[in-house]
Amino acid sequence: MGILTRFKEIMASNVNAILDKLEDPSKMIDQILRNLAEDLAKVREETAGIIAEEQRCARKLEECKSDIEKYQGLAEQAVERGEDEDARIFLKKKAELTADLSALEEVYAAAAENSRKMKLMHDKLVDQIDEMTARRDSIKAKVAVARTQERINKAAQGAQDAMGSMSAFDRMEEKADRMLDRANAMAELGQSSDSKLEALENKYDAKAAAVEDELAALKKKLGK
């Protein structure tokens, strides 16, 4: 992948879109910045080469213009001296240089445009890296808060589960109380029935004893 293609991809990417793709921004944001710094170094190197090419084209263009002026001047001097043949040679050279001038101007214009674009792209990348660097601490802080909130949510869920367990415990205790009350009631019912029967038996036992006592007293009275 050429540096310019890579650079265009970087420029086409929105900073937020890059961050959204990160699984763990707090761990990877530094790596992203390092990668961008490496890309910037390559872009800066490429930009320097294109600027140097622009300067080379500018020098060749100026040299061509200077030579045209030089041969124009020499042709004029030759005419003033009556050296028409020399003037023709100088004018011929001037014509060749003039023909080259048009091509050199086109080449320089293209080089200058490439240089301008590269400077703009370089500056834009620098701005984006500066922006991301400035936002790094904020991003990490947001991630830390989000993770804290996740832990709170888990703790809240655990507390909710604990409340459910406590509720189940209360229900079991209530059920145990009902079972105990029922058992006590059954015991009371059984005890009540036995008590009545015993009292009835005692009643009859008491009457029998009274009769025997009365019979004994009567026999004593009669001398029996």
| Coil, helix or strand at residue 1 | coil
User: What tokens appear for 80 in the block?
Assistant: 């003033």
Q: Please say whether the beta carbons of 68 and 94 come within 8 A.
A: yes
pLDDT of the residue at 10: 55
Which pLDDT score is estimated for 111? 92
Residue 26 included in any domain? yes
pLDDT per residue as tens digits for the range 139-152: 777 777 777 777 77
Q: Is residue 165 part of a domain?
A: yes
pLDDT value, residue 39: 84
Q: Is residue 113 part of a domain?
A: yes
- The boundaries of the domain holding residue 73 are 3-171
pLDDT of residue 208: 57
Regions of the chain short of the pLDDT cut 50:
1
CATH code at 155?
1.10.287
The three-state secondary structure class of 224 is coil
Residue 166 lies inside a defined structural domain of this protein:
yes
* Other beta carbons within 10 Å of 98: 15
Is this prediction's pTM over 0.85? no
The pLDDT score that the predictor gives to residue 13 is: 53
DSSP states of 9-48: HHHHS-HHHHHHT-S-HHHHHHHHHHHHHHHHHHHHHHHH
Q: d(Cα 116, Cα 103) in Å, to the nearest integer?
A: 20
pLDDT in tens, 48-100: 999 999 999 999 999 999 999 999 999 999 999 999 999 999 999 999 999 99
- Mention every residue, 6+ apart, whose C-beta is less than 8 A from residue 84: 78
Residue 34 located in a structural domain:
yes
Domain count, the chain: 1
* Residue 219 maps to a domain: no
